[in-house]
């Protein structure tokens, strides 16, 4: 008999998880979203029922996955009825103990950036898991292994550091791409000019220790170029302040004078 | 008859350029470096003579490529004898007019990050060129096209913006990878955990407009997660200050409240 899962949330992570779980043979019985139209987008993809009221949740499912924005988790927990299965969240920086209201609880944290519209090979996504007792630990472990080839146990503090490192290596990196795009656009230049450079930067960082791959004016302590660049960026802008702070950080890091 | 080139410099850019030019059929006759051991590393790879004194430069070559750090360019120009060929530099943020001492001059700026030890398909590297008169323009154009499939004309101000955008999308991005690595290392975690995330981030930024690929707590304005992360990073550290500034920048950028 197929194990039953209720998905609470219908955003980027919930969507990718639902599809991966469905493909792995799980039965997604309900998809909840406060905005029913979001639930109705996702539910048909995995033959689930869309709901927008937490009291309508089936209490006999095996697993409840809370995959909403961090700031909405507390309200969801408060409004959820008592359930018999294991309740997990998918957040990097929320303690498992937040779910203590439920006798069986845990965490299933997929360590990847998700965009709803973009397909993705879920088996390659590292999944970090935790459970409060052996029953929940085993269920979360099995479910994670059914959808990913890279499952690891991680407690809350380890998970938080991983989350922070992902903010640096993914969210912040993407923002730097957006700022570069913004600079080029103002000059009528295409972002695609940067493609060979971006590919090479990524490949280098993955093939050697990033600190050893560092190049550019700040690494060399070339103040003339740096000042020249900062003059071109107007002072008081984020471009300018980010240029100054990251350059200083690179310089200190290279010289081992890092705080 | 093969055209003759003198390479002034023996660093990352000079090394990759020399090899690409040699493969394209040019005759690299001399490689200069103030540190003769650097010149002696590179020269034999391209059958050139290593020199460490600028007065020894052959004055009858077709092209002189100054590929030294920006801060060393002025001294090189000052010490170079009068030559008959075209003199170019390879710097993103130095005006072509810096070379005005030479009747024929220009710029050949390879828009890529180079590491000496890492091979690279030069034909894919965008090369930005400029020349002061038609003779130098034509020579630089032809040489660039012999080594790259992507040659574009660019004046000094366009080249500078490209350089700055590359500092953001390459040097600063790599530094964020180094900071993420630093955070993980302190917890005994491997940087390779980030590999799927880094690959996906890069792929997304290259397949959609980066600003539309932005995810993470700052985009959502999730202050709770951000404060939680900043508490984990100690205040007064670069990690902390970079987290704060980039988060603020992402938030403002997403809300179109950008300065």
Shared domain for B12 and B29, answered yes or no, is: yes
Question: How large a percentage of chain B has pLDDT more than 70?
Answer: 100
Residues B105 and A93: their CA atoms lie apart, in Å, by: 56
Over residues B157-203, the pLDDT tens digits come to 999 999 999 999 999 999 999 999 999 999 888 999 999 999 999 99
In a domain, B192, yes or no: yes
In the predicted model, is pLDDT for residue A86 greater than 90? yes
Q: How far apart are CA B212 and CA B207, in angstroms?
A: 10
pLDDT, position B110: 95
Domain interval for residue B97: 4-154
Say whether both A52 and A142 belong to one domain.
Answer: yes
Contact B215 A246 (CB under 8 A): no
pLDDT digits (tens, 9 = 90+) for A52-73: 999 999 999 999 999 998 889 9
Task: Note whether A45 and A125 are same-domain residues.
Answer: yes
Q: Using one digit for the tens of pLDDT, what is the confidence trace for A105-120?
A: 999 999 988 777 777 8
- Same domain flag for B108 and B197: no
Give the domain CATH number at A90: 3.40.50.720
Asked if the structure places residue B233 within a domain, the reply is yes
Residue B230: closest C-alpha in chain A: A164
> Between β-strands A105-110 and A127-131, what pairing exists: parallel, antiparallel or unpaired?
antiparallel
> Which 198-227 residues of chain B touch chain A by CB within 8 A?
198-202, 204-207, 209-211, 213-220, 222, 224-225
Task: State residue B24's pLDDT score.
Answer: 97
Asked if residue B143 and residue B25 are part of one domain, the reply reads: yes
Split into its structural domains, chain B has a count of 2
Of the residues A120, A154, A188, which one is the last residue of a structural domain? A154
* CB pair distance less than 8 Å for A161 and B178: no
CATH number of B226's domain: 1.10.1040.20
Closest to B110 measured CA to CA, from B244, B177, B11: B11
A123-132, A152-161, B3-12, B114-123: the lowest-pLDDT one: B114-123
Residue after which a domain boundary falls, among A117, A135, A154 = A154
Residues B149 and B173 in one domain: no
> Residue A191 and residue B199: Cβ atoms within 8 Å?
no
Hey, which residues 10-39 in chain A have their CB within 8 Å of chain B?
A: 12
User: How many CB atoms within 10 Å of residue A91?
Assistant: 23
- pLDDT higher than threshold 90 for residue B222: no
Check residue A201 and give its pLDDT: 93
Mutate to test the interface with A, among B181, B188, B201, B252 (most CBs of A within 10 A): B201
Place of tokens 């710097």: B91
Shared domain check, A221 and A173: yes
Q: Which two tokens stand for residue B33?
A: 């470096």
Q: Say whether B189 and A243 touch across the interface (CB within 8 A).
A: no
Position A36 in a domain: yes
pLDDT above 90: residue B120: no
Residues B24 and B124 occupy one common structural domain: yes
- The last residue of one of the domains, among A136, A154, A172, is A154
Yes or no: say if A225 and A217 are a contact pair by the CB < 8 Å rule: yes
Is the torsion defined by CA of B26, B27, B29, B30 positive or negative? positive
**Residue A123 touches chain B, beta carbons under 8 Å:** no
B69, B194, B213: residue with CB nearest A220:
B69
Regarding whether A170 and A113 lie in a shared domain, the answer is: no
């Amino acid at each position: 008999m197929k194990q039953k899962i209720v998905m609470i949330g219908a955003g980027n992570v919930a969507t990718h998880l639902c599809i991966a779980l469905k493909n792995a043979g799980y039965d997604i019985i309900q998809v909840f979203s406060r905005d029913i139209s979001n639930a109705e987008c996702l539910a048909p993809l995995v033959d689930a029922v869309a709901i927008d009221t937490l009291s309508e949740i089936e209490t006999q499912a095996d697993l409840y996955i809370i995959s909403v924005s961090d700031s909405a988790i507390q309200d969801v927990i408060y409004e959820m009825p008592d359930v018999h299965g294991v309740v997990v969240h998918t957040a990097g920086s929320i303690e498992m103990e937040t779910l203590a209201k439920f006798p069986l609880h845990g965490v299933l944290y997929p360590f990847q950036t998700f965009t709803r519209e973009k397909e993705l090979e879920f088996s390659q996504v590292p999944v970090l898991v935790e459970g409060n007792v052996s029953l929940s630990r085993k269920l979360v472990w099995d479910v994670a292994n059914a959808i990913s080839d890279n499952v690891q146990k991680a407690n809350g503090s380890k998970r938080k550091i991983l989350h922070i490192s992902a903010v640096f290596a993914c969210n912040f990196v993407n923002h730097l791409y957006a700022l570069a795009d913004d600079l080029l656009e103002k000059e009528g230049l295409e972002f695609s000019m940067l493609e060979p450079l971006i590919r090479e930067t990524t490949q280098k960082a993955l093939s050697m220790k990033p600190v050893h791959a560092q190049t550019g004016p700040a690494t060399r302590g070339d103040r003339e170029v740096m000042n020249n660049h900062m003059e071109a960026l107007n002072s008081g802008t984020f471009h300018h302040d980010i240029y100054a702070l990251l350059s200083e950080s690179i310089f200190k890091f290279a010289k081992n004078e890092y705080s």
